[in-house]
Amino acid sequence: MSSHDKDHVDRVVALAIYIAKKEGGNLEIIKTAAKLHDIARDYNNHARKGAKIAEKILKDEGYPEDFIKEVVHCIEAHSFSSGIKPKTLEAKILSDADKLDAMGAIGIARAFMYSGEKGRSIEETLRHFEKKLLKLKDCIETRTGLELAENRHKFLLEFYKELRNELNFIKKIKNDYFNELL
């Protein structure tokens, strides 16, 4: 299992459809982009690489050029770290759906799964919370996405604070213990 596996993709597809039903947008573009959004997950800048791979797949399958262009933009712009701002409603919806899956209880579970995959410590994982996960709510583009993000962000922040408090407590008692030995 991976933090970016088929279950992740299925959740992003479901969230994207849910948001699209409330916000509008071309559902076929949204579903296609969501299904393909992490196709190049193992590459650096997976969003750009994934967009190129998706473009080839969709061309080979005979999709119209305008449709392909829309899907490609959604995939390019979905990633927090891609630096590409979503310009269309469909791209905003995919971006929100992907970010929502990185928040809340699921996001916490995925963060620690990813850390296990990469051999990161708890402290390194908390730095990932600080650099990315705790900033996701501010990147949400749609009203529906923001409604969903509120509770997920709150839970993420509470978990982060509690874990930070517990680690600080352990650090303090370790320091006290080592000082007593000297």
CA atoms of 176 and 182, how far apart (whole Å): 10
Structure tokens at 156: 């993420």
Give residue 178's pLDDT.
73
Give residue 3's pLDDT.
58
So where are the chain's domains?
A: 6-178
Per-residue pLDDT of the chain (182 residues; tens, 9 = 90+): 565 668 999 999 999 999 999 999 999 999 999 999 988 876 678 888 988 999 999 999 999 999 999 999 999 999 877 788 999 999 999 999 999 999 999 999 999 999 999 999 999 999 999 999 999 999 999 999 999 999 999 999 999 999 999 999 999 998 887 766 66
Decide yes or no: CATH 1.10.3210.50 for domain 6-178. yes
